[in-house]
Amino acid sequence: MKLRNIIKKITNPFLKAGLDFYYRKPRKYAYQDIEVLVHPEVFPPHLTLSTKILLDFISEKELQNKTFLELGCGSGIISLLASKKGAKVTASDINKTALEYLEKASKENNLEVACVYSNLFENLQGKHFDFIIINPPYYPKKPKNTKEEAWFCGEDFEYFKNLFQQLPSFISARVSPKALAEGQESNSYMILSEDCNIEKINSIALENGIQLKMVLQTKKSGEENFIFSIHSENGL
């Protein structure tokens, strides 16, 4: 069964019971020699492809001394990898349990990550980042609790409306429309899946002067995922 169908069927009581049973206690997740413990209230990277695709993507990037933000860090394994690659890392989330567990993982892996509780960029005012990585919630439904914030972006895509309004002030290096047309990438990236309404998300981005440019397309376990670089139209 395709992974996305599994996720859709999470509302199926039997599958939900099975998943709840598996995630009744914190579960380990590892990449290279980095290991995190994922609390049941935190986005499970084991179940989806997006975290692993981003980890592979980041592992190819030159990050030494770069300022790096993982917006909505969940388990924070991407942040830990960025730190291992020499970046100065900030990991933010609205899930306090995720941040507590990441603080512990950061000590256990001997990697430095600044953990910040923040609704999008609310508590990150005045900061600029060379790299921003986002694995967003994208199912259009109102989240009922913190755990669901990892999956649902609001009935009317409120997460993306707020994100694209706030984002331009936090990207260090903007890419001008000319450079964009010539194929230059920004260093802000977002992953989306074929299972989400990319057209709608793209139209919200454009309304806010933001262009999404696909830089990676990958098909695994029958599911297509895309990484977009994020460009502010008000390029320097």
Ligand X SMILES: C[S@@+](CC[C@H](N)C(=O)[O-])C[C@H]1O[C@@H](n2cnc3c(N)ncnc32)[C@H](O)[C@@H]1O
User: Contact residues for ligand X (CB under 6 A)?
Assistant: 43, 45, 50-51, 54, 70, 72-75, 78, 92-95, 98, 119-120, 135, 137, 149-150, 159
Minimum CB distance to ligand X smaller for 58 or for 180: 58
Cβ proximity of 130 and 89 under 8 Å = no
| Shortest Å distance, C-beta 136 to ligand X | 6
Phi-psi domain of 72 (left: phi exceeds 0; alpha: psi -120 through 50; beta: other):
left
- H-only helix segments in 91-197: 96-108, 158-166, 177-181
Supply 180's token pair.
Answer: 């964009």
Main-chain phi, psi angles of 142, to 5 degrees: -75, 120
Query: Rounded to a whole number, what is the largest CA-CA distance in the chain?
Result: 53
What counts of helices (H) and strands (E) characterise the chain?
8, 9
| Shortest Å distance, C-beta 183 to ligand X | 26
| Shortest Å distance, C-beta 120 to ligand X | 5
| Shortest Å distance, C-beta 174 to ligand X | 22
Minimum CB distance to ligand X smaller for 100 or for 177: 100
Minimum CB distance to ligand X smaller for 40 or for 235: 40
Minimal CB distance to ligand X: which residue? 72
Minimum CB distance to ligand X smaller for 149 or for 223: 149
